[in-house]
């Protein structure tokens, strides 16, 4: 790896961008296109954000690959070729790197550099940003492109740290392959990350113990190689395809045709027919099978019963099947999309442990204590999620007007304007911040919408009088006399110009 650059003390940036995931990369590209000077700081040693950190086995996107990509460049979306219906993490990371290369983004990104603080200086109306590598830079605008799911959540389990085996967190997975062959592995958590990784870990481990607090809804992905015919079809009308998706609640899935009718007015046979169709199709479209599933609890119960029935049919041990049946409202938390999750519990070496009501009692030197029992393990996988949405923002000591700390401004929960801006923090933008649709949508679409909005806002700021700026008339009236004068100066050998060879 090449040596890291010397700390920087540039006070002339227009934009400081924190994070080089999909949000930071596009913000940089947009800023450059507007003729702005931008500096990006990124803690990792590469681009990709969430897809850089989440390298756990089985990690893949739950949005179809033809939809989960940038649309700002038609050449890019035409050239790039996905290989599967749902792209796996390594392919999404390759895509992020391709974008960085294609638009030469790395030149303006400082990697392995974590932003520690950002302070708004009232007198200059600029943000001063300090990093853990000694950079002190200023910019007129500060864009927090830190991602919604990038700060890992590690619960303070008693005895955490005492375990003598290997410990992993799904959200900060090692870059080197992890081999669980012949090992006794424990997975704590049954969210999306766990549901994706459990079937793969089970293929290697000699014993797998899954510690579950809350069962989750999951529908089959039915992942498969991407159909070249479908790819060509989409590419032939990509703009219209994107436009249709942008009209959807989650900015995805417009191609899935569902009957626009309520479950409550359908017969049990019609319920079965629609749910079966959605289950066989795979993916997140399941919860759109009827138009009242998310607005009427009685309709939601019908969908919930169908999923329970499916789980009971897949999982052979009745007690395990009951534990895997979620009781929450279907779709209240984003549903998971899996490849063989429920079937995994039929394997003789896989065990599900219900940790309610006491939770994980302790991490011990030899494993996990839960449900009144000690489980001896060689490795523990913490699939315990993230300090979502605000975690990464509050890790940076952000201070706005009069030294107001963002952490204090948000002590009673985050308050933003459209998830983009915070009162008392001028010229600070948060991409997919709390209060915007963010994690309940196709994230790349939400990111692009925000970056385009921020670009438009900055454009407007530049076109309109900026507060604090001396009001003078700056352009010259009259093009022909101006050109004539320029030509005269050139003919005189640029007399009066300050030029250095
Ligand atoms: P998550 O959904 O927050 O799941 C965390 C799991 O850890 C839950 O089962 C939770 O149980 C458990 N847990 C947390 N603290 C615990 C504690 N103290 N004791 C015992 N169990 C504990 O995290 P995630 O699976 O990493 O997913 C996070 C988000 O990323 C989700 O919104 C998901 O949609 C998204 N994601 C998407 C994809 C994809 O695109 N395919 C893949 C992965 C993740 P409780 O439920 O009881 O709290």
Mutation probe of ligand 1 site: the residue of 173, 384, 389 with most atoms within 8 A of C-beta: 384
Which pLDDT belongs to residue 408? Answer: 97
Which residue's CA is the closest to the ligand 1 atom numbered 37? 192
Distance between terminal CA atoms of the chain?
37
Residue 341's contacts (CB-CB under 8 Å, 6 or more residues apart) are 195, 196, 198, 199, 218
- Rounded CA-CA distance 254/448 in Å is 18
* Helix (H) or strand (E) segment spanning residue 279: helix 268-281
Which pLDDT belongs to residue 14? Answer: 97
User: CA geometry: angle at 152 spanning 148 and 154, to 5°?
Assistant: 145
Distance from the CA of 385 to the center of ligand 1, in angstroms? 4
Which pLDDT belongs to residue 487? Answer: 82
Token readout for 38 is 């931008």
**Segments of the chain with pLDDT less than 70:** 1-2, 466-475, 499-501
Q: Which atom of ligand 1 is nearest to the CA of 194?
A: 25
- Report pLDDT digits (tens) over 36-67: 999 999 999 999 999 999 999 999 999 999 99
Which pLDDT belongs to residue 113? Answer: 98
Residue 96's contacts (CB-CB under 8 Å, 6 or more residues apart) are 21, 22, 25, 47, 48, 49, 51, 52
Distance from the CA of 145 to the center of ligand 1, in angstroms? 22
Query: Is-contact 160 154, C-beta < 8 A?
Result: yes
Distance from the CA of 213 to the center of ligand 1, in angstroms? 11
- Report pLDDT digits (tens) over 105-164: 999 999 999 999 999 999 999 999 999 999 999 999 999 999 998 889 999 999 999 999
Token readout for 334 is 């984003």
Query: Is-contact 264 298, C-beta < 8 A?
Result: yes
Token readout for 47 is 């681009």
Which residues of 33-123 form beta strands (DSSP E)? 38-41, 109-110, 115-121
Query: Residue holding tokens 């003919």?
Result: 491
- Residues with CB under 6 Å of ligand 1 are 60-62, 149, 155, 170, 188-194, 196, 213-214, 334, 337, 359-360, 383-386, 439
Which pLDDT belongs to residue 474? Answer: 67
Distance from the CA of 229 to the center of ligand 1, in angstroms? 35
* Helix (H) or strand (E) segment spanning residue 32: helix 22-33
Query: Is-contact 142 428, C-beta < 8 A?
Result: yes
pTM for the complete prediction? 0.91
Mutation probe of ligand 1 site: the residue of 385, 434, 440 with most atoms within 8 A of C-beta: 385
Distance from the CA of 222 to the center of ligand 1, in angstroms? 22
- Rounded CA-CA distance 423/362 in Å is 42
Distance from the CA of 35 to the center of ligand 1, in angstroms? 41
Closest residue by Cα to residue 221 from 132, 335, 107, 306: 335
469 Rama class: left (phi>0) / alpha (psi -120 to 50) / beta:
beta
- Secondary structure in 3-state letters for 286-300: HHHCCCCCCCCHHHH
Token readout for 302 is 């019908």
Query: Residue holding tokens 């979306």?
Result: 77
Closest residue by Cα to residue 235 from 69, 391, 426: 69
| DSSP 8-class letter at 329 | P
Other CB atoms within 10 Å distance of the CB of residue 293 = 23
């Amino acid at each position: 790896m090449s040596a890291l650059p010397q700390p920087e003390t540039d006070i002339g940036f227009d934009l400081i961008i924190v994070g080089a995931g999909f949000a930071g990369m596009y913000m940089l590209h947009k800023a450059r296109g507007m003729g702005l000077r931008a500096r990006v700081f990124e803690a990792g040693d590469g681009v990709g954000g969430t897809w850089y950190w989440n390298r756990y086995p089985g990690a893949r996107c739950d949005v179809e690959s033809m939809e989960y990509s940038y649309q700002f460049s038609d050449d890019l979306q035409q050239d790039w070729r996905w290989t599967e219906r749902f792209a796996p993490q390594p392919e999404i990371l390759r895509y992020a790197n391709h974008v960085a290369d294609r638009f030469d983004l790395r030149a303006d990104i400082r990697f392995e550099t974590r932003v520690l603080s950002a302070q708004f200086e009232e007198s200059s109306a600029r943000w001063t940003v300090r990093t853990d590598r000694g950079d002190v830079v200023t910019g007129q605008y500060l864009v927090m492109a830190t991602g919604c799911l990038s700060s890992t959540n590690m619960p303070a389990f008693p005895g955490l740290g005492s375990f003598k085996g290997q410990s992993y967190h799904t959200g900060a997975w090692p870059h080197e392959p992890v081999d669980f062959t012949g090992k006794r592995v424990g997975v704590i958590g049954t969210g999306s990350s766990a549901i994706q990784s459990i079937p793969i870990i089970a293929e290697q481990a000699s014993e797998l113990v899954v510690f579950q607090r809350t069962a989750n809804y999951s529908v089959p992905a039915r992942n498969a190689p991407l159909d070249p015919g479908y790819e060509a079809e989409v590419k032939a009308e990509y703009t219209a395809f994107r436009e249709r998706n942008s009209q959807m609640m989650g900015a995805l899935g417009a191609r899935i045709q569902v009957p626009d009718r309520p479950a409550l007015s359908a017969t049990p046979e019609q319920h079965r027919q629609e749910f079966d169709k959605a289950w066989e199709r795979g993916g997140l479209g399941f919860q759109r099978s009827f138009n009242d599933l998310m607005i009427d609890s009685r309709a939601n119960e019908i969908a919930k019963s169908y999923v329970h029935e499916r789980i009971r049919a897949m999982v052979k041990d009745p007690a395990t099947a009951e534990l895997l049946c979620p009781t929450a409202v279907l779709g209240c938390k984003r549903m998971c999309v899996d490849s063989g999750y429920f079937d995994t519990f039929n394997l003789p070496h896989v065990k599900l442990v219900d940790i309610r009501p006491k939770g994980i009692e302790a991490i011990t030197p030899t494993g996990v204590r839960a449900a009144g029992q000690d489980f001896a393990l060689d490795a523990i996988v913490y699939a315990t999620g993230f300090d979502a949405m605000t975690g990464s923002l509050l890790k940076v000591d952000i201070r706005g007007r009069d030294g107001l700390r963002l952490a204090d401004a948000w002590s009673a929960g985050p308050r933003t304007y459209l998830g983009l801006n915070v009162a008392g923090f001028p010229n600070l933008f948060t991409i997919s911040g709390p209060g915007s649709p963010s994690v309940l949508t196709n994230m790349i679409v939400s990111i692009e919408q925000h970056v385009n909005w921020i670009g438009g806002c900055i454009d407007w700021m530049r076109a309109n009088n900026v507060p604090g700026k001396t009001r003078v008339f700056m352009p010259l009236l009259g093009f022909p006399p101006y050109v004539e004068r320029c030509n005269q100066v050139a003919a005189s050998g640029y007399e009066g110009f300050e030029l250095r060879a």
